[in-house]
Amino acid sequence: MAVPVLLWSQLETSADWKRQVYEKEYTFGIFGHTMGYGGNFRYQKFRDGYNKHGLEFELTKIRHPKEVKLTADRSSVAARGYVYDRLNAFYALRVGYIHEHILFDKTDQGTVSMSLIFSGGLSLGLLKPVYVIVRNQENSNFTTYVAERYNHNTHLSSTIYGEAGFFKGFWETKLHPGLYAKAGANFDYNLLDKKVTSLEGGIVLDVYYKEVPIFYEGPADQKLNMQAFVQLYLAFNFGYRKN
């Protein structure tokens, strides 16, 4: 029984040096993309020395291309910036299957391997309503400020003092289901074979069952909101392999 184990642990790839082929890989990552930023976790199992597959989990913020942050010119209150006519902040929780194929293996310790990555699955959109800071009109004795859910008809830009904190409206978040697909290239440059340190770049597409209501749409802006989001991304991943 010792012979198969020895052969597995010393399996040779096309590299000039013998590498240990592990069974499992766990990685964490942070990434930026053309519409925001996020983080990920991956669990993969090796099929052989060149292929692995598993599960991918990502949480990312997705900004609408027309989002422009404004700053209220009010010296009487320290307010955050806000995006005028934005009804909801949008996030995506992705859960999917991932396959990675090593295209060019490390030829020696200290060199770089390149692999191709393909993944796809559920993209669960999270719509968190936007609250803005406005002057409290009910108190005429002295000036106070309150957080109100943004309403295009009542909140003019001249009345907004900024956006409320992140957790305001958190428990009113609504789900907006969809699907995603991703393709990328990963470059692993860690000196140790049992550890992962890599840079990854590629493209990802999120498609939802209907338009995502990020912005208020008036009669002249019927096509402002979108149903699909295409992003280019760059990620830094780190983790480890084990048997």
pLDDT at 5: 42
pLDDT digits (tens, 9 = 90+) for 7-56: 344 444 555 545 667 899 999 999 999 999 999 999 999 998 889 999 99
Residue 70: which of 196, 169, 176, 157 has the closest Cα? 157
pLDDT digits (tens, 9 = 90+) for 114-155: 999 999 999 999 999 999 988 876 666 667 788 999 998 888
Cα separation, 54 vs 42, whole angstroms:
7
192, 156 contact by CB (below 8 A): no
pLDDT at 208: 98
Q: What does pLDDT average to over the chain?
A: 86
Residue 229: which of 181, 187, 191 has the closest Cα? 181
Q: What percent of the chain has pLDDT over 70?
A: 84
Q: Reading across the β-sheet that carries 131-135, which strands appear in turn?
A: 145-149, 131-135, 160-163
Q: Global pTM?
A: 0.86
Mean pLDDT to the nearest integer, 74-97: 84
> What are the structure tokens assigned to 87, written together?
């009804």
Q: What is the DSSP letter of 154?
A: T
Cα separation, 225 vs 125, whole angstroms:
14
Residue 33: which of 238, 230, 199 has the closest Cα? 230
pLDDT at 145: 83
Mean pLDDT to the nearest integer, 223-240: 95
**Confidence bin at 217 (pLDDT 50/70/90):** confident
Domain ranges of the chain: 23-64+87-127+171-242
pLDDT at 115: 96
Query: Which residues face 160 on adjacent strands?
Result: 134
Cα separation, 206 vs 215, whole angstroms:
18
Mean pLDDT to the nearest integer, 101-125: 89
Topology given in CATH for the domain delimited by 23-64+87-127+171-242: Porin (2.40.160)
**Confidence bin at 220 (pLDDT 50/70/90):** low
**Confidence bin at 78 (pLDDT 50/70/90):** low
Mean pLDDT to the nearest integer, 202-228: 89
15's CB contacts (< 8 A; 6+ apart) are 105, 106, 107, 108
Cα separation, 163 vs 80, whole angstroms:
5
Residue with tokens 């840079």: 199
